[in-house]
Amino acid sequence: MSCLVEIKNLSFSYQDGRTALQELDLSICEGEKVGIVGSNGAGKSTLLLQLNGVLQGTGDVRIAGDQVCRQNLGRIRSLVGLVFQDPDDQLFSPTVFEDVAFGPLYMGLDESAVSLRVREALESVGMDGMEERVPNRMSLGEKKLVAIATVLAMRPRILALDEPTAALDARARRTILGVLKHLDETLVVATHDLSLVAEVLDRTIVMDRGEVVADGPTAEILRDEAFLAEHGLI
């Protein structure tokens, strides 16, 4: 059976020569909820950016059978929804409505379909009624939720989130967790928040210095404290 995400022998270096990913193999199947953990600089964010072709390394990355390459980018990007760590990067439009509508509009949907998607996406993160709000005047938690909605509105099959709970207070974090739990999409979450992993994600991938050092059911991986400490996770 072929999986939704198939990564074979992927290596990637930034322009300054720093190797961020080394010969990585990974597959993620439809409906899986995967956590990617690892210390700062392990390569988590870099890996997420490979999934929709924003960064491209050597090796083979396939999404739903299609290779990530220039010709397929449009299709790939409608399959993989990327939510960035800083919502101020993600919310670049003057109003919430325009921002959530951005992806669907560029997918070529007609306007009533776009409006419907915006409404549904905002509802699913509990931010309905915020359409006319200006991102400048929203709290970090609200911005994070809207950032998730901007991607949900594209109905991606894979949702890739970078540090969804970083810098949030307890209540906002709870809200995000609640939203993540109820999503049906395949989830890939890069995070330092191990209790988020334990609560929401069934499978955990541990990265260290650009390599996958462990991959398995969350419960098993989180049980091995010595291993977690060795890779700077606790």
Ligand X SMILES: Nc1ncnc2c1ncn2[C@@H]1O[C@H](COP(=O)(O)OP(=O)(O)OP(=O)(O)O)[C@@H](O)[C@H]1O
Footprint on this chain of ligand X (rule: CB under 6 A) = 14, 16, 18, 20, 38, 40-46
45 sits near Mg ion (criterion: CB under 5 A) = yes
d(CA 86, CA 29): 27
Evaluate whether 230 touches 213 at the Cβ level (below 8 Å): no
Report, in angstroms and rounded to the nearest whole number, the Rg of the chain calculated over CA atoms.
Answer: 17
Counting residues that bind other proteins (by CB under 8 A) gives 36
Specify the DSSP class assigned to residue 107: T
Structure tokens at 178: 């609640």
159 makes contact, choosing from ligand X, Mg ion, other proteins, none, with CB < 5 to 8 Å by partner type, with none
Alpha helices, DSSP H, located in the chain: 44-51, 73-79, 87-90, 96-106, 111-124, 140-152, 170-181, 194-200, 218-223, 225-230
132 makes contact, choosing from other proteins, Mg ion, ligand X, none, with CB < 5 to 8 Å by partner type, with other proteins
To other proteins, the closest distance from the beta carbon of 1 in angstroms equals: 28
Q: Which of residues 82-141 bind other proteins (CB under 8 A)?
A: 82, 84, 86, 88-90, 92-95, 97-98, 101-103, 105-107, 111, 114-115, 131-132, 134-136
Nearer to other proteins, 53 or 222 (CB): 53
d(CA 159, CA 152): 8
Structure tokens at 23: 């010969």
Q: Hey, CA dihedral for 121, 218, 84, 45, is it positive or negative?
A: negative
Quick note: the x/- pattern for other proteins over 176-215, rule CB under 8 A, is ----------------------------------------
Determine how many CB atoms are found less than 10 A away from the CB of residue 214.
Answer: 17
Nearer to other proteins, 139 or 195 (CB): 139
Distances in Å between the Cα of 90 and the Cα atoms of 13, 82, 164, 212 are 24, 9, 12, 28
28 bridge partner residues: 5
Region of 37-45, 70-78, 127-135, 198-206 interacting with Mg ion (CB under 5 A): 37-45
Chain residues binding Mg ion by CB under 5 A are 45
Chain residues binding other proteins by CB under 8 A are 49, 52, 54, 74, 77-78, 81-82, 84, 86, 88-90, 92-95, 97-98, 101-103, 105-107, 111, 114-115, 131-132, 134-136, 150-151, 154
